[in-house]
């Protein structure tokens, strides 16, 4: 490789391999595509965050004094649409999955690099539609686009936003297809399914849902667009259409979509917790299969969103029962992670602090889900702030924490720079404290009956709402700090070694940042995942062998 050292002494890597804006915009390198997603996603995260800030500002006072009711409707709708479809759903798979799946399985790229780039542009195009809808005056249907309001009555820019979500859906589907094929067909020699890092298992399960669920919501939303634009009658009750059918079709995807949003989080946590406990993950195959179990069961529970929508009581009972069942594989993960910690040599670097935060917050999010899957309590809690708090514990406390966890853990690999540990620890504290201060009061508010999606409320709830807004401020500072030191580290951060955390996995055996085609020679894997124990590490080091260069290959 010495011949590849550049004139300025810096070895060639995927970042300095080629230069210029075109070399990025037309790149087929999965690592660069991952970085492009990261930049775009962050922009959407900030847009969604601005709407969240407006919501919390309005709710500081009981009266609706900052926005009119209609404007407020648009605020929470656009917060939801942007955050769910353009931030959370792509987040970990599009950024970390893109960057790491080929590295972790010992491949030179994903199976279909052009399709991968196309997926990015579909995402960007869909995002442009959503932004256009926002700039032209917004949408007010709620992120769930319930008919008949969305199809027949709303005067906001629903069609534009729906087309955006539709296009973005195909980005998600094609990414799923790409990852699935990559994981099936591109693994290095010797890398059997049960030697894969759990990061890969989690993404495989996610891809399954993306491929099986997203097309259903795509056609459903398209029907709503047709209904608005051409005035066809499918969900419109004036023609005998059934608006509740929309809810069924919407949640058939949108409940599994919750797992699109959380399974990649599990995937990150499994890798990071093993590294910072210096132990193999406890119950590897249980954790692996629990991801698949969640993916499958996730398709059978959508009706728990419709307990009060007039669906049959018997259907509700079945949906309620299966929903309880999903708690089993989720709990399997939590217990296995806890046992991984048991007697491990735990190091509390900032990625590990995010893991700790994740486990606590996701557990609260999961357990409060059981209140909502219980028929009787759901009637009381439905459409209250209890629901809002519950899914934010899962989505922000779970997924966003896991995303930040993974970003810190793999930041040195992605950028070749270390993030500064001191500010990072401060950032975790801000995020964790701010998050809890924002959303714990909302559980209480919801239990007391404060409905979601209203811009005004009775005065006795003001104290808790002010706490929530104060928490959101701290949370925002935490995110701001994190973004700031990440950007700072790109220029001033310490140069990262190949493996700063002494982690195990193929991605850590190559330089930080990796070269354009990842591996000089494709590795041959002869060891199990996570060989952190002393005897396992010994066996790996004696057996680390790389495939001899093939004759027809220049390396």
- Give me the 17-56 binding string for other proteins, x by CB under 8 A, dash otherwise: x---------------------------------------
Interface with other proteins (CB under 8 A), residue total: 56
Angle subtended at Cα 516 by Cα 511 and Cα 520, rounded to the nearest 5 degrees:
60
* Residue 530 neighbours by CB under 8 Å, 6+ apart: 197, 274, 279, 280, 281, 284, 504
Sign of the four-CA dihedral 379, 146, 205, 125: negative
- Of 248 and 255, the one with the shorter C-beta distance to Cu ion is 255
Rule CB under 8 A: say whether 226 interacts with other proteins: yes
Which of 100, 131, 133, 173 forms a contact with other proteins (CB under 8 A)?
Answer: 173
Residue 108 CB, shortest distance to other proteins, in Å, is 5
- Of 180 and 356, the one with the shorter C-beta distance to other proteins is 180
- Binder of residue 185, out of other proteins, Cu ion, none (CB less than 5 to 8 A by kind): other proteins
- What's the CA gap between 550 and 555, in Å, rounded? 9
Closest alpha carbon to 96 in 144, 41, 156: 41
- What's the CA gap between 134 and 143, in Å, rounded? 13
- What's the CA gap between 398 and 304, in Å, rounded? 21
Residue 257 CB, shortest distance to other proteins, in Å, is 14
In the chain, what is the straight-line distance between the N-terminal and C-terminal CA atoms, in Å?
Answer: 9
- Binder of residue 490, out of Cu ion, other proteins, none (CB less than 5 to 8 A by kind): none
Query: Of 104-112, 119-127, 393-401, 497-505, which part binds other proteins (CB under 8 A)?
Result: 104-112
* Residue 309 neighbours by CB under 8 Å, 6+ apart: 244, 247
Which of 43, 46, 66, 245 forms a contact with other proteins (CB under 8 A)?
Answer: 245
- What's the CA gap between 79 and 499, in Å, rounded? 38
Rule CB under 8 A: say whether 528 interacts with other proteins: no
Rule CB under 5 A: say whether 255 interacts with Cu ion: yes
Question: Own/partner pairs for 450-454, CB < 8 Å, 24+ apart?
Answer: 450/384, 450/385, 451/383, 451/384, 451/385, 452/76, 452/383, 452/384, 452/385, 452/387, 452/388, 453/73, 453/76, 453/142, 453/383, 454/72
- Binder of residue 255, out of Cu ion, other proteins, none (CB less than 5 to 8 A by kind): Cu ion
Query: Of 166-174, 250-258, 292-300, 498-506, which part binds Cu ion (CB under 5 A)?
Result: 250-258
Which of 60, 66, 124, 177 forms a contact with other proteins (CB under 8 A)?
Answer: 177
The partner residues of 384 in beta bridges, in order of sequence, read: 451
- What's the CA gap between 407 and 429, in Å, rounded? 16
Q: Where are the alpha helices (DSSP H) in 186-241?
A: 198-229
Rule CB under 5 A: say whether 390 interacts with Cu ion: no
If you ran DSSP here, which 8-state letter would residue 520 be given? Answer: S
Closest alpha carbon to 205 in 162, 260, 283: 260
Interface with Cu ion (CB under 5 A), residue total: 1
Which of 9, 19, 20, 240 forms a contact with other proteins (CB under 8 A)?
Answer: 240
- Binder of residue 535, out of Cu ion, other proteins, none (CB less than 5 to 8 A by kind): none
Rule CB under 5 A: say whether 413 interacts with Cu ion: no
Residue 505 backbone zone (phi > 0: left; psi -120 to 50: alpha; other: beta):
left
- Binder of residue 510, out of other proteins, Cu ion, none (CB less than 5 to 8 A by kind): none
Which of 36, 84, 111, 122 forms a contact with other proteins (CB under 8 A)?
Answer: 111
Residue 255 CB, shortest distance to Cu ion, in Å, is 3
Which of 96, 100, 110, 200 forms a contact with other proteins (CB under 8 A)?
Answer: 110
Residue 301 CB, shortest distance to other proteins, in Å, is 17
- Give me the 345-374 binding string for Cu ion, x by CB under 5 A, dash otherwise: ------------------------------
What residue ranges bind other proteins (CB under 8 A)? 1, 4, 12, 17, 102, 107-113, 115, 173, 176-178, 180-182, 184-186, 211-216, 218-220, 223, 226, 230-234, 238-242, 245, 249, 252, 515-517, 520, 522, 552-555
């Amino acid at each position: 490789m010495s011949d590849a050292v550049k004139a300025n002494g810096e070895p060639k890597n995927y970042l300095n391999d080629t230069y210029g804006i075109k070399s990025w915009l037309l790149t087929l390198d999965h690592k660069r595509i991952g970085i492009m997603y990261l930049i775009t996603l962050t922009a959407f995260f900030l847009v969604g965050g601005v709407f969240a800030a407006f919501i919390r500002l309005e709710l500081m006072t009981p009266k609706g004094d900052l926005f009119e009711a209609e404007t407020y409707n648009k605020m929470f709708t656009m917060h939801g649409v942007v955050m769910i479809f353009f931030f959370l759903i792509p987040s970990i798979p599009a950024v970390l999955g893109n960057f790491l799946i080929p590295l972790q399985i010992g491949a030179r790229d994903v199976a279909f690099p052009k399709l991968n780039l196309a997926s990015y542009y579909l995402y960007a195009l869909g995002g442009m539609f959503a932004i256009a809808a926002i700039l032209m005056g917004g949408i007010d249907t709620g992120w769930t686009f319930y008919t008949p309001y969305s199809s027949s009555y709303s005067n906001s820019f629903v069609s534009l936003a729906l087309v955006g979500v539709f296009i973005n859906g195909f980005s998600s589907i094609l990414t799923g297809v790409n990852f699935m094929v990559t994981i099936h067909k591109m693994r290095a020699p010797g890398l059997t399914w049960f030697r894969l890092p759990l990061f890969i298992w989690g993404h495989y399960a996610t891809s399954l849902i993306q491929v099986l669920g997203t097309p259903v919501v795509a056609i459903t939303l398209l029907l709503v667009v047709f209904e608005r634009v051409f005035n066809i009658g499918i969900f419109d009750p004036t023609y005998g259409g059934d608006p509740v059918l929309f809810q069924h079709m919407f949640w058939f995807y949108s409940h599994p979509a919750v797992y699109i949003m959380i399974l990649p989080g599990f995937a990150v946590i499994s890798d990071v917790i093993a590294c910072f406990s210096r132990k193999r993950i406890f119950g590897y195959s249980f954790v692996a299969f629990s991801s698949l179990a969640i993916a499958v069961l996730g398709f059978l529970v959508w009706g728990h969103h419709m307990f009060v929508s007039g669906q049959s009581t018997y259907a509700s009972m079945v949906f309620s029962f299966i929903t309880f069942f999903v708690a089993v594989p989720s709990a399997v993960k939590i217990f296995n992670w806890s046992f991984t910690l048991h007697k491990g040599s735990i190091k509390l670097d900032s990625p590990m602090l995010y893991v700790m935060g994740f486990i606590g917050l996701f557990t609260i999010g999961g357990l409060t889900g059981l209140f909502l899957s219980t028929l009787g309590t759901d009637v009381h809690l439905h459409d209250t702030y209890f629901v809002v708090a519950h899914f934010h514990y899962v989505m922000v406390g779970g997924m966003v924490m896991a995303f930040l966890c993974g970003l810190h853990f793999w930041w040195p690999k992605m950028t070749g720079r270390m993030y500064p540990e001191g500010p990072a620890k401060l950032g975790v504290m801000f995020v964790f404290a701010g998050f809890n201060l924002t959303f714990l009061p909302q559980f209480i508010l919801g239990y007391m009956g404060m409905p979601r999606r209203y811009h005004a409320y009775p005065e006795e709830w003001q104290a808790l709402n002010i706490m929530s807004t104060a928490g959101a401020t701290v949370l925002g500072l935490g995110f701001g700090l994190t973004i700031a030191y990440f950007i700072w580290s790109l220029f001033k951060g310490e140069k990262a070694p190949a493996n700063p955390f002494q982690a195990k996995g193929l991605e850590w055996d190559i330089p930080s940042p990796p070269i354009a085609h990842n591996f000089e020679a494709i590795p041959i894997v002869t060891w199990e995942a996570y060989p952190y124990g002393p005897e396992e590490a010994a066996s790996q080091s004696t057996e680390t062998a790389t495939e001899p260069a093939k004759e027809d290959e220049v390396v």
